[in-house]
Amino acid sequence: MTDLGLIESTGDRGYDRLAQGVIGVFEVAFPDRVRGYYLRGSHASSTSIAGSDLDLFIIFKDRFADAAEYERARALSDHCGRLSPVLLELVLTGERGLRGPEGVGAALNLKLATRLLYGEDIRAELPPFDADTYVRSVVHTPYLSYAYPKERRGGPLVYPLRHLDPDGPFFGYDQWTMPGPDGVEHPSTKLLVGSVGWTATAIVALGSGQYVRDKAACVKLYQKYVADEWTDLVTDVHELCRNRWHYQLPSDPAERAVLRELCDRALDFQNHFLTLYRSYQLDELASGDPDRQRLAIQRLQRIVFEDQEVADALSSAGTT
């Protein structure tokens, strides 16, 4: 495979070549198994900056043949990431997974916020946007960023959350690395940006049912539909960490002090959201809908609220 033309461009020749390389590697490793490769994130919405990730959906036909095929695809994506001069985020899924309750968020992102780079276009086949289904899916997505750090792996999260590293200069929010200009992995603000962004996305969805396409849209929608005491945090993390510092840790002492304050406030923002999340899941448990109750039970086993009201609601819904 020597000439792999893209259906659409990323908008940057270097990123185009990187995308072609990733696609070529997967086509050789998994012949006739991938339905399509889609560009997502800031390059798809034409809001990329220097150092932006290359975000791709890689959609396998039907579903992964077995666990071994998925593990090989995941390992291959990790190896591609090590060769990439920028952070490479490859989302691997099968078509069937996009149609299940856990795949709603990914399916909407694929349908509404991507560009097809190579392969077949399945976006028209995916279900249309439904605000209620979307909220039920996206309300749990902050959990992924909360549970990512090594300090919180291995068990359920317990409310209220505490700082990852109380003695660290940025309370542990600098542990997600990214390639620097020298090609070496360096600490970054990626975890902070991701955590605040996903938290804000969930709050926007809870309050308005609005679909959030990307980071820039999240800030605008939060300003418009939420506009609370956390709006400046959501705005500052986006404008400073992403747009000014390009996800790098600043070297200027005054700017480092600003970043430390943002990291400190991020914990309070997460706990603020979790109070909203708790109320939402209590409503789901009281809905009388078995599917909603089942999902709420699963989620309240991952994020634990140690109070009697939640315990009683879980008991009434059929758990002990």
**CATH number for position 109:** 3.30.460.10
Q: What is the mean pLDDT of residues 233-259?
A: 96
Q: Is residue 3 part of a domain?
A: no
Token duo for residue 165: 């590293």
pLDDT in tens, 66-95: 999 999 999 999 999 888 888 899 999 999
CA 82 from centre of chain: 20
157 and 296 both lie in a single domain: yes
Token duo for residue 5: 């033309």
Q: What is residue 1's predicted lDDT score, i.e. its pLDDT? A: 45
Domain range for 243 is 134-316
Q: What is residue 319's predicted lDDT score, i.e. its pLDDT? A: 60
121 and 154 both lie in a single domain: no
What residues pair up with 118 in beta bridges, in sequence order? 37
Q: 3-state DSSP call for residue 195?
A: helix
Please report which confidence band the pLDDT of residue 189 belongs to, taking 50, 70 and 90 as the band edges: very high
Residue 190: phi and psi, rounded to 5, are: -55, -45
CB 132 within 8 A of CB 222: no
Q: What average pLDDT does the chain have? A: 92
Q: Is residue 8 part of a domain?
A: no
Q: Is residue 1 part of a domain?
A: no
Please report which confidence band the pLDDT of residue 3 belongs to, taking 50, 70 and 90 as the band edges: low
Q: Is residue 107 part of a domain?
A: yes
Among the listed residues 127, 190, 180, 163, the one whose alpha carbon sits nearest the alpha carbon of residue 270: 163
Q: Which of 129, 152, 187 is the last residue of a domain?
A: 129
Q: Which of 129, 151, 172 is the last residue of a domain?
A: 129
Ramachandran quadrant class, 11 (left: phi over 0; alpha: psi -120 to 50; beta: rest): left
282 and 154 both lie in a single domain: yes
Token duo for residue 85: 């001069």
148 and 117 both lie in a single domain: no
Q: Which of 98, 129, 160 is the last residue of a domain?
A: 129
Q: Is residue 4 part of a domain?
A: no
168 and 98 both lie in a single domain: no
101 and 153 both lie in a single domain: no
141 and 285 both lie in a single domain: yes
The set of residues, in sequence order, having a beta carbon less than 8 Å from that of 262 and lying 6+ positions away, is 192, 233, 236, 237, 240, 241
CB 269 within 8 A of CB 291: no
**How distant, in Å, are the alpha carbons of 96, 145, 158, 175, 183 from that of 189?**
34, 13, 24, 8, 17
Q: What is residue 154's predicted lDDT score, i.e. its pLDDT? A: 72
Which residue stretches of the chain are H helix? 13-29, 67-83, 104-112, 131-138, 142-147, 190-208, 215-225, 231-236, 253-285, 290-300, 308-316
Q: Is residue 268 part of a domain?
A: yes
139 and 262 both lie in a single domain: yes
Q: What is the DSSP letter of 290?
A: H
The total number of structural domains in the chain stands at: 2
CB 248 within 8 A of CB 189: yes
Q: Is residue 7 part of a domain?
A: no
112 and 141 both lie in a single domain: no
159 and 107 both lie in a single domain: no
Q: What is the mean pLDDT of residues 230-237?
A: 98
CA–CA separation, 286 and 290 (whole Å): 10
For the chain, the residue count is 320
117 and 177 both lie in a single domain: no
Instruction: Answer whether residue 214 shows pLDDT above 80.
Output: yes
